[in-house]
Amino acid sequence: MNRLLPTLLGLCVGLTVFGFAGPDPVRAQLPDEFTNLKVFPEDIAPRNLIGAMRSFSQGLGVRCTHCHVGEEGQPFSEYDFASDDKPAKRKARFMLEMSMQLNDEILPGLSQVADRREPGVRVQCVTCHRGVAVPRQIEEVITQTISDAGTAAGIAKYRELREEYYGQGAYNFGEQALIRTTEALGEDYDSALAVLALALEYFPESVQAWVGSAQAHQAKGDIDAARAALLEAQELAPDSPQIARMLERLGTP
Ligand code: HEC
Ligand code: HEC
């Protein structure tokens, strides 16, 4: 188990912000002995365990109750932290072992290929999770929501996530991510057009979104709408030979 300690402490590195200088109100409410640790050493110092738990919570953007049996608002002394009832806790334990393997077994091999960064970059929960519980990219979230619940639900989902996470690095809210989403939608041109309209709402100068809209309209056989979209693109990029060629190919109305 001792082999693991450097990694475990590594997981806590980001936690020095909390200082632990004075009494910690969270620690005071927690048991001093842990009865169901399978990855961390049984005799881990409570402050290190709590540090790791905080980095789990922050890495995933969740509260302790995401993984532990307990009611929000109750004192921690009422929680059953040892219980493995919640699937999220069991998955987190697997993830912890996976992260340790990456850091301790796989990444050291990088130096056989070329010198590693000094100090080495450690994989933490937040490296993949970026503050969200399920580490999917925004493109995947939108396309999946569209296929499960329809175009409007996909668009609403984007707005909702943007509202909640903008500026936190959790998702890519840039123009390109929306363009890539339309590519992933394949022949669902109506959904693609809705996503491109969304892109134009946030990025009104997006030439790519207008050109994409033109292509989707054309694929649907709506040549007038395709031409109108290309003219918008041309207004933004008057010197583009590609747009001129596309317009030429559509013919005059
Ligand atoms: C993402 C899931 C996750 C979150 C969030 C989380 N934990 Fe944990 N917690 C675990 C896992 C997994 C273990 C078991 C680790 C092991 O087996 O070595 C654990 C173990 C514990 C234990 C030891 C229980 C025992 O007796 O064995 C305590 C205490 C604890 N967590 C407190 C907290 C607190 C307090 C928070 C919120 C600040 C928190 N945890 C947030 C996953 C989580
Ligand atoms: C190398 C990337 C990576 C790292 C590092 C990582 N995770 Fe994950 N995590 C994933 C992926 C991918 C999934 C989704 C797995 C699936 O397909 O269900 C996931 C899923 C989870 C889930 C289940 C989410 C759900 O609701 O289905 C939990 C809980 C979790 N991770 C906790 C953690 C914790 C805690 C850490 C740090 C100890 C961590 N992860 C580190 C990639 C990672």
pLDDT digit string, tens, across residues 152-198: 999 999 999 999 999 999 999 999 999 999 999 999 999 999 999 99
Q: Whose C-alpha lies nearest to ligand 2, atom 10? A: 135
What is the pTM for the complete model shown? Answer: 0.87
Tens digit of pLDDT for each residue in 24-73?
Answer: 677 778 887 899 999 999 899 998 999 999 999 999 999 999 999 999 99
- Cα angle vertex 161, ends 158, 164, to 5°? 150
Least confident span in 4-8, 89-93, 100-104: 4-8
Nearest to 51 by CA among 161, 101, 118, 125: 125
Rounded distance between C-alpha atoms, residue 155 and residue 76, angstroms: 39
Asked if 232 and 208 touch (Cβ cutoff 8 Å), the reply is no
Could you say which ligand is closest to the alpha carbon of residue 134?
2
Asked if 207 and 236 touch (Cβ cutoff 8 Å), the reply is yes
Cβ neighbour number for residue 72 with a 10 Å cutoff: 7
Mutate to test the pocket of ligand 1, among 53, 57, 93, 132 (most ligand atoms within 8 A of CB): 53
If you measure from the C-alpha of residue 92 to the centroid of ligand 2, how many angstroms do you get, rounded to a whole number? 7
Could you say which ligand is closest to the alpha carbon of residue 95?
2
If you measure from the C-alpha of residue 87 to the centroid of ligand 1, how many angstroms do you get, rounded to a whole number? 13
If you measure from the C-alpha of residue 98 to the centroid of ligand 2, how many angstroms do you get, rounded to a whole number? 9
Could you say which ligand is closest to the alpha carbon of residue 68?
1
Instruction: Classify the C-alpha dihedral 33-38-43-47 as positive or negative.
Output: negative
Burial label, 23 (beta-carbon count in 10 A; 0-12, 13-18, 19+): exposed
- Can you list the domains of the chain with their CATH numbers? 2-129 (1.10.468), 136-203 (no CATH), 205-253 (no CATH)
Name all residues whose Cβ lies below 6 A of ligand 1: 26, 30, 34-40, 53-54, 56-57, 60, 62, 64, 66-68, 76, 81-82, 88-89, 92-93
Integer CA distances (angstroms), 30 to 49, 75, 92, 250, in order: 11, 9, 20, 70
Residue the block writes with tokens 């903008």? 166
